[in-house]
Structure 1
Amino acid sequence: MESPKHAGDIAVAVSKAYGIETMFTLSGGHVFPLYDGAVHEGLPIVDVRHEQSAVFAAEATARLTRRPGLAVLTAGPGVTNGVSGVATAHFNGSPVVVMGGRAPQSRWGAGALQEIDHPPLFAPITKLAFTGSGPDSVAEDVEMAFRTALAPHRGPVFLDFHMDHLFAAAPPPDHAIETLTPSPLEPDSDALAEVARLLAEAERPVLVLGSDVWMDRAEEVALAFAEELRLPVILNGQGRGILPAGHELLVTRARGMAFSQADLVIVAGAPLDFRLGYGWFGGKDGAPLARVVHLADAPSQLTTHMQPAATAAGDLSLVFWGLGTACADAGVSPKTYQPWLARLAEAAAAAVAGDAELLASGSDPIHPMRIYGELNKVLADDAVVIGDGGDFVSYAGKYVEPRRPGNWLDPGPYGCLGTGLGYSIAARLARPSSQVVLLLGDGAAGFSLMDVDTLVRHGLPVVMICGNNGIWGLEKHPMQMLYGYDVAAELQPQCRYDQVVTALGGGGELVTDPSEIGPALRRAFDSGVPYMVNIATDPSIAYPRNTTGV
């Protein structure tokens, strides 16, 4: 006779019904029944060395697969160690469910081990944070968690269970689990008509495609819309790759000119935050500010700090389909934009040509750009590139252009360092046949490098490239500019992070000669193990920035 199912069994069974294929965790007794459920249900468990990596791995899974991710954290410090990962998922709109253990209900208030009320800690950074009410409601609670995480606008949900409730017998769901995604939100046709009117009046439009275009599975219709109207395009976040490197409409390398001289900027699937100059475009040489259109997957994501010329909210596939029809009705002519597109394409080509010398630089110490010049030679079309760092990864954002959508991961607008190893774990599982490349600043490496052990134990080869300039570059250079000195900005020069990787069972090497970068990268890709190419770079070189974020 089959043993009665406990609450952990039921929670895992419902999770699998929602497409969960991996449980990311760090072992803890409060959540043993969830592990037992995973064993019973055949759900793979990937255990990490720090809870933040479990949440980052779940978040990257959601962003790469466009299905929910699952992290399981034990009570108290196990849960609180995951807060930064949940905050990152919140800012990225990633559908992640974090299940936490919780001190027993039977001992609540008596000072049990790791007794703390978790949900209030997560309330500001989740769509929903709650405690399961008991064994009888586990199936319903887990269903609600996943439904909420997946509903527009996607985001993280935290659900914890009292330990004694998890161990208790629990009934299976009393109905077939409904795992279909919510019905697509239809955009308002009048709002789309207004956007089309603005396009009909514009001479210098720019279209920005952000992460939610990818997450809404709208990349193909967005590309078709841009190509039909011959719109210059700039890509943001996971929108990178929607137009592949070299596409004639891709003008990211002329970003400054595009944003400063545009008369209309349409931002789709991205917030008007610091990365986009807070939505203030145009205005160069006394010209008026550009009119701004904001397109979002849900009304909650439309900007509130400024008044755009037009907005529309809805499933972004439907938004772009509707815009195509509205633009045809409004008589929008792609010919109007041709002179503007030609100017931007010329500026972008000039920027690329101007970079050629530094991308092949033989300078000693090594210029960071030389690393990307060599990396671009060996990246496959389906490579997943992950950025975790400051100045070093900023260069990657400029000089590594994905060839396919959904192949770029960075921390997003929250800017949390330490995402890299968790993201790498998830990427290798989600894309088993692709190159997975993790770009680490030497500062960022200190947050999560111990999780190379996770890569090794679970047989997950990843190529890690560490831009090692021996400083906190994002802090040292601005402090020098402001004060004439810097403090708390030094790291050990040429620290042997590669030897850390080797000690944990991977491979690695230190590179100080620019001519050795290419051969070292090829050895890394050929190794079949987690491998770090630790490259000593010039600490005097800072990535150029301005104060607006444009």
Structure 2
Amino acid sequence: MAGFPLHHPKGRELTGGDLLAQSLKHLGVEVAFGLHGGHLDAFLMGCEDIGIRLVDTRHETVAVQAAEGYCRISTKPGVCFVTANSGFSNGLPGLATAYGDRSPILCITSSPPIRDTENNSLQGSIDQVVAARPITKFAHRVVSPEECPRIVSHALRVAQAGPPGPVLLDFPIDVLFSPIQPKLIAWGSVTSPPSFPPGPHVAAIDAAARLLGAAKRPVIITGTGARSPQARQQLFKLAEGCGIPVFNTSKYTSFSPSSPMLSTRTAGMLAILSLVKLPRPDLVVLLGARTGMFLGGRSGAIIPGQDCKLIQVDCDGSEIGRSLPIDLGIVSDVEAFLSAVNERLNSRHIKNIDKSWVQSVLGLAAMESPYEKEPEVTSSGRLHPYHAVKSLVSGIEPGSIVILDGGEASAWVGDLASRCQPHTVMTATGYLGFLGNGFGYSLGCAVAVPDRKVVNIQGDGSAGFHLMELDTYKRFNLNIVTVVVNNSSWGMSSNGQDLVYGTDHPARPISALSSATEYDVVAKGLQNTATRVSRIAEIRNTVARFQAQPGPSCINLIVDRKPVHPITTAMVGLTDNPNLVVVPYYDNIPRAFYKL
């Protein structure tokens, strides 16, 4: 089978590294994130020759997470590279988060020459393929340079097919540096058109239509599986045509395109329906949204457990019914499902929906926060986190991409982020609860869509993981504003300890951070525009001013760790029931013996 025309570099032989780079370029790869290692030089030179942009970071974890941020905002696969063993080991956290959050990325690594296997060679102690397999969809060592096109195209198909996820290819250094024999090249599917995603069965669409037609109080909840522009267009065609309210999950909140049926708050708002005396949904349609931590677990707080039908659409059949009983499970690409439903349904078929209930549910987003009337400055003399974050959000340019990282810091911002009319809000911690991801996500987003401003919001705890990436932001002059919401503590940890053990208990193990740390001074040293802000009146204008200028900047925003954010209280799950054991951040469990 014919492949693509080979590009022969000037002044040297065509190597495996060149063929690898050219295979990626042919498959649509435009950028790769990584950190240098001599094992990869043949590949890096190949990227330079063929026109793949190389973005180097200060840590391999960030490189992998930048590839993930890139693919999330662009819907293209993200590509990263890490050097043998040491770089690979640093990249493992990024692979783990991509695997947990189903992000299609390709990680390229290298290793010692094949002949030096098990020879105590430099950077050769770990079998990288074996180590990567539990946290990737596919991991493989390429032992012939001529196999690059076949294996690379296969790996990218695996990354994007079905439930997406990370893949890893290990190229021993001799494979990358060896000259190519063109007659031996295995092209595989490198020139084949992309595969079509799975679509729903006709009977499944009929069943979905019946459930939608019978519902009085339906809601749609979307996850990352519904993030493509095509899926969003079909989503709002259905929602607006039938009058069904739409909620994003807090993990990935897209506001593009806008729609009158899209709530500006996340699905967590459904948990307060009973408190405001509104009936709960009688039908929930999950579109590419997994049950679990972002949808209230098995508590029934967000998705009612009784008197409510549940339709779950996912490209991964193993996710359907994983933790909640379902009435209709459909293994399908979300766009394909929505297209089929839109062909089957229109407003004439949807006659039972309670329109006043729908408007009341959408109106919940306008409810005043209980913190609105509290003082802007707490008794400690620091800013109230709600008021500080409210002013922060009010200064963000509409259409920005907002990345949330940290515990309570991201929760405070998540409640208010829609006020700035963002393009997208991403919660970087994901299913692993992994702090520090926001630096890589922000980098990937800024490279993928340079015409949009990026706001990287960190707690002071999460900021400590990868603050050196401000240097990366400056080297590439990216329009990223990093905000450190600084309460001098691991806020969710210390407040969780307060809730469980009481404020009178003196011990607060390892939950404090230094109030003397000057994140703005560090940022200035890394050539970012930066300042420390401790007054409400300064916040909005500072954010607007920093976003208006080119290049990266940093704001050290001083706030109090009190009051406790409601999400911490909810996750700790205190109860007066003496026969339950409180297990913070999970469902409480029955006591092994009953207290009388």
| Alpha-carbon distance, 1:249 to partner | 5.3
Distance 1:374 1:481, change over 3 A: closer
Aligned to 1:71: 80
Q: Choose from 134, 141, 144 the match for 1:131.
A: 141
Aligned to 1:89: 98
- For residues 188-242 of structure 1, give each alpha carbon's deviation from its aligned partner in whole angstroms, at most 9, with x where no partner exists: 1212222222222222222101111014730110111111111122111334315
Counterparts in 2 of 1:222-241, with a 5 A limit? Answer: 222-236=235-249, 237-241=251-255
TM-score, normalised to structure 2's length?
0.85
Q: Is the 8 A contact 1:467 1:534 kept in 2?
A: yes
Q: Is the 8 A contact 1:243 1:403 kept in 2?
A: no
Q: Choose from 241, 257, 268 the match for 2:272.
A: 257
| Alpha-carbon distance, 1:500 to partner | 0.8
Distance 1:262 1:242, change over 3 A: farther
SS of equivalent to 2:230: coil
Q: Choose from 452, 461, 472 the match for 2:490.
A: 472
Q: Choose from 46, 64, 79 the match for 1:55.
A: 64
Q: Is the 8 A contact 1:9 1:36 kept in 2?
A: yes
Counterparts in 2 of 1:7-156, with a 5 A limit? Answer: 7-115=16-124, 116-156=126-166
Counterparts in 2 of 1:396-545, with a 5 A limit? Answer: 396-401=413-418, 403=421, 406=424, 408=426, 410-483=428-501, 484=505, 485-545=507-567
Q: Give aligned pairs, total.
A: 546
Aligned to 1:305: 323
Q: Distance in 2 between matches of 1:185 and 1:246?
A: 30
Q: Distance in 2 between matches of 1:481 and 1:196?
A: 46
Q: Is the 8 A contact 2:238 2:342 kept in 1?
A: yes
Matched, 1:381 2:402: no
* Greater share of helix: 1
Q: Choose from 347, 350, 353 the match for 2:364.
A: 347
| Alpha-carbon distance, 1:93 to partner | 1.8
Q: Distance in 1 between matches of 2:269 and 2:396?
A: 23
- For residues 456-503 of structure 1, give each alpha carbon's deviation from its aligned partner in whole angstroms, at most 9, with x where no partner exists: 122223111110000001111111222344211000115201111111
Letter paired with 1:366: L
Aligned to 2:341: 323
Q: Which moved more, 1:266-275 or 1:173-182?
A: 173-182
Distance 1:11 1:301, change over 3 A: farther
Aligned to 1:157: 167
Q: Which moved more, 1:363-372 or 1:76-85?
A: 363-372
Distance 1:205 1:434, change over 3 A: same
| Alpha-carbon distance, 1:317 to partner | 1.3
Q: Distance in 2 between matches of 1:329 and 1:224?
A: 11
Unmatched 5+ stretches in structure 1: none
- For residues 52-95 of structure 1, give each alpha carbon's deviation from its aligned partner in whole angstroms, at most 9, with x where no partner exists: 01101111111111111111110112001111111111122211
Q: Is the 8 A contact 2:457 2:482 kept in 1?
A: yes
Letter paired with 1:479: Q
Letter paired with 2:297: Y
Q: Distance in 2 between matches of 1:266 and 1:97?
A: 31
Q: Is the 8 A contact 2:436 2:465 kept in 1?
A: yes
- For residues 497-529 of structure 1, give each alpha carbon's deviation from its aligned partner in whole angstroms, at most 9, with x where no partner exists: 111111111121111112111232133223423
Q: Is the 8 A contact 2:64 2:80 kept in 1?
A: yes
Distance 1:67 1:179, change over 3 A: farther
Q: Distance in 1 between matches of 2:532 and 2:410?
A: 19
| Alpha-carbon distance, 1:46 to partner | 1.2
Q: Is the 8 A contact 2:398 2:421 kept in 1?
A: yes
Counterparts in 2 of 1:264-303, with a 5 A limit? Answer: 264-278=283-297, 281=300, 288-303=306-321
Q: Distance in 1 between matches of 2:204 and 2:50?
A: 47
SS of equivalent to 1:97: strand
Letter paired with 2:290: P
Aligned to 1:395: 412
Q: Distance in 2 between matches of 1:379 and 1:331?
A: 42
SS of equivalent to 1:101: strand
TM-score, normalised to structure 1's length?
0.92
Q: Distance in 1 between matches of 2:259 and 2:414?
A: 13
| Alpha-carbon distance, 1:439 to partner | 0.2
SS of equivalent to 2:531: strand
- For residues 129-166 of structure 1, give each alpha carbon's deviation from its aligned partner in whole angstroms, at most 9, with x where no partner exists: 11113222122221211121121221110110111111
Matched, 1:371 2:388: yes
Q: Is the 8 A contact 2:240 2:261 kept in 1?
A: no
Distance 1:524 1:375, change over 3 A: same
- For residues 438-469 of structure 1, give each alpha carbon's deviation from its aligned partner in whole angstroms, at most 9, with x where no partner exists: 10100011000011111112222311111000
- For residues 330-375 of structure 1, give each alpha carbon's deviation from its aligned partner in whole angstroms, at most 9, with x where no partner exists: 9322x522132133234333346x66546x9355411222233223
Q: Distance in 1 between matches of 2:401 and 2:364?
A: 28
Q: Which moved more, 1:121-130 or 1:319-328?
A: 319-328
Q: Is the 8 A contact 2:524 2:530 kept in 1?
A: yes
Q: Which moved more, 1:249-258 or 1:11-20?
A: 249-258
| Alpha-carbon distance, 1:407 to partner | 5.5
SS of equivalent to 1:288: coil
| Alpha-carbon distance, 1:281 to partner | 3.5
Q: Which moved more, 1:229-238 or 1:53-62?
A: 229-238
